Amino acid sequence: MKVLLVSHTYMVKANQKKLDELAAIPGVKLQVVVPLVWKEELHPVIAVQSPEDPGYSFLSLPTFLTGRLGKAIYHSLDLTIRKFRPDIIHTESGTRGLTTFQAALYKRLFAPRSKFITFTWSNLEKPMVFPLQFFERYNLKQTDHVICGNQDALTLLRSKGYKCPISVIPQLGIDTDFFRTRDGSVLRKQLNISQKAFVIGFIGRMVPEKGLMTLVEAAGRLKGDWTLLLIGRGPDRDIVLQRLESLGIADRVRWVDVVPHLELGKYYNAMNVLVSPSITTAVWKEQFGLVVAQAMASQVPVVGSLCGETPNLVGDAGLLFPEGDVSALIEHLCHLQLDSELCADLGMRGVKRIQENYTFNGIAKKTHQVWEEVLNGP
């Protein structure tokens, strides 16, 4: 089968392992189209990182509206469809995205017999004005199968009347060669953290919906020898710092703004637990929880709120608490702080759950199964 995959996600090498796994499947001829550059909140400009000696074709093209997720348009009159002649066109810019619309239009013009698949993370109904309503209706009409990154996205699509098949498969997997258990003592020493301290980790943007203030309030009421390791930055940083100081626990905190991806693995193993205290807002709820999955793969116990996809990701391999419930979070942290056997058990469960459900190889196999079903039927 010939598959054209259009997505900005694969601009960076960390995500290209999925492409390697897909291209290694017998019978798959893969062509990938990505933007030349991208812009995001924490990384003003991201330049494409071309893979070395890939087993697939990789093209980077200029775009309009670069970095505006779902709104980018490629400077291309056919997205290579006329020459490549794919059996499947697979886009990953959402059901209402302009990139999806562009690909769907070109499919209709240049490859009307090809199948069309789109991926979406969208798990929350948001007001849509013209022309977004038109784009979504058109895109869904052309789509033979939607892959949703979470269960709520499936529910939302069905509520809109979408009748074609839907699968729930995360966009990316976890590299278990990279995120694994290892010695974190050296990094603890570098960060001036006691080897005996109970280290509570948080990785994410400093914004209200990530719920960091819930964790800060909980930390302010903890006893014993503990340290809070915060990794990330954002507009709420000063507010968080002020609250840490008012609680008298600022000296218990180690804060790292940005960690390069290749160094991130060792930070998980400097933690005794990772907390994901996300909170649903009118415009956002947790779509997957990549840092939770990475911590689980690193054999680090996780505590997550009941926000969005987090409960489905964690399953029985972690502890869950109601969004914003400081007392419940404190109870979980105290329990883990005092029970090393529970920590070890949850760590092992997390590794097993990731290996069985969320590796790059597993995600690639599930994606390929969708491709086969679209071409040949279930």
Same fold, 2-173+359-376 and 185-356: yes
Topology of the domain comprising 2-173+359-376: Rossmann fold (3.40.50)
Cα 353 from Cα 369, distance rounded (Å): 20
Q: Which CATH architecture has domain 185-356?
A: 3-Layer(aba) Sandwich (3.40)
pLDDT at 64: 87
Q: Of 249, 229, 233, 220, which Cα lies nearest the Cα of 184?
A: 229
Percent of the chain whose predicted confidence (pLDDT) is above 90: 89
Distances (CA, A) of 184 to 177, 287, 362: 16, 29, 28
pLDDT at 67: 63
Cα 320 from Cα 339, distance rounded (Å): 17
Tens-place pLDDT, residues 37-72: 987 655 567 889 999 989 999 999 999 877 655 678
Work out the average pLDDT over 166-192.
Answer: 96
pLDDT at 316: 96
Work out the average pLDDT over 159-177.
Answer: 96
Percent of the chain whose predicted confidence (pLDDT) is above 70: 97
Cα 249 from Cα 253, distance rounded (Å): 7
pLDDT at 115: 98
Work out the average pLDDT over 114-129.
Answer: 90
Cα 44 from Cα 39, distance rounded (Å): 5
HEC letters along 31-86: EEEEECEECCCCCCCEECCCCCCCCCEEEEECEECCCCCCCCEECCCCCCHHHHCC
Tens-place pLDDT, residues 74-85: 999 999 999 999
Q: pTM of the entire structure?
A: 0.94
CA dihedral sign of residues 247, 249, 250, 253: negative
Q: Which residue has the higher pLDDT, 14 or 147?
A: 147
Tens-place pLDDT, residues 236-288: 999 999 999 999 999 999 999 989 888 899 999 999 999 999 999 999 999 99
Residue 22's pLDDT band, with cuts at 50, 70 and 90, is very high
Q: Looking at the predicted structure, is the pLDDT value of residue 100 above 60?
A: yes
The amino acid sitting at 165 is P
Q: Looking at the predicted structure, is the pLDDT value of residue 319 above 70?
A: yes
Cα 325 from Cα 333, distance rounded (Å): 13
List the structure tokens of 217. 């309030």
How many residues does the structure list for the chain? 378
What is the pLDDT of the chain when averaged over all its residues? 94
* Residue bearing tokens 């699968």: 167
pLDDT at 87: 98
* Alpha carbon distance, N-terminus to C-terminus of the chain: 16
Work out the average pLDDT over 137-162.
Answer: 96
Tens-place pLDDT, residues 195-244: 999 999 999 999 999 999 999 999 999 999 999 999 999 999 999 999 99
Report yes or no: 8 and 59 within 8 Å, Cβ to Cβ.
no
- Ordered by start, the domain boundaries in the chain are 2-173+359-376, 185-356
